[in-house]
């Protein structure tokens, strides 16, 4: 999908309607058209990135910083808000529907209907250790590669 076909890029350009709550040089935040709860926001980098793999670290930091400040604003806004969820779906298997990185920030309260179901069973330590080792190795490889290019 090109930037021209991306609905979030259209919103960033001002070519599509949105109810903006934050706008700076790098990040835009607006109301979700299909909110989980009243106050549900989407925070997007202005530069198109399909997923986390494509997102510059600096843009990711700005995205999360704005999301954090907006979570605080939601808590103080007078909207029903007993808690906050920050949710980012990265890839189709993770339920990403719009392929432009976006952080959901939405208020939570007792009795709301949002749920994530999963297999929450406790895992064996050996399985966790093996998984941790695979992630550590890849993380070290990525960190070393980043240092070599900078």
Q: Which residues are catalytic?
A: 102
In this structure, what DSSP letter does residue 92 have?
Answer: G
- Taking the alpha carbons of 132, 138, 141, 146 in that order, is the dihedral positive or negative? negative
Q: Are the C-beta atoms of 102 and 43 separated by less than 8 Å?
A: yes
Q: Can you give the C-alpha Rg of the chain in angstroms?
A: 18
Does residue 1 sit in helix, strand or coil? coil
Phi, psi of 50 (to 5 degrees): -65, -50
Nearest CA to 51 out of 7, 13, 103 is that of 103
Token digits of residue 56: 């510059």
Q: Distance between CA atoms of 108 and 51, rounded to whole angstroms?
A: 25
């Amino acid at each position: 999908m090109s930037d021209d076909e991306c609905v979030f890029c259209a919103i960033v350009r001002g070519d599509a309607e949105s109810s903006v709550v934050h706008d700076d040089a790098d990040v835009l935040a607006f109301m979700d058209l299909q909110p989980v709860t009243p106050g549900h926001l989407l925070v997007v980098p202005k530069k198109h990135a399909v997923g986390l793999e494509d997102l510059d670290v600096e843009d990711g930091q700005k995205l999360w910083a704005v999301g954090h400040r907006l979570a605080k604003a939601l808590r103080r806004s007078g909207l029903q808000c007993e808690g906050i969820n920050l949710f980012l779906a990265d890839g189709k298997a993770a339920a990403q529907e719009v392929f432009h990185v976006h952080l959901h920030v939405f208020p939570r309260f007792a009795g709301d209907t949002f749920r994530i179901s999963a297999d929450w069973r406790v895992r064996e330590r050996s399985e966790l250790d093996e998984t941790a080792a695979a992630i550590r190795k890849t993380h070290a490889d990525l960190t070393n590669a980043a240092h070599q290019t900078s």
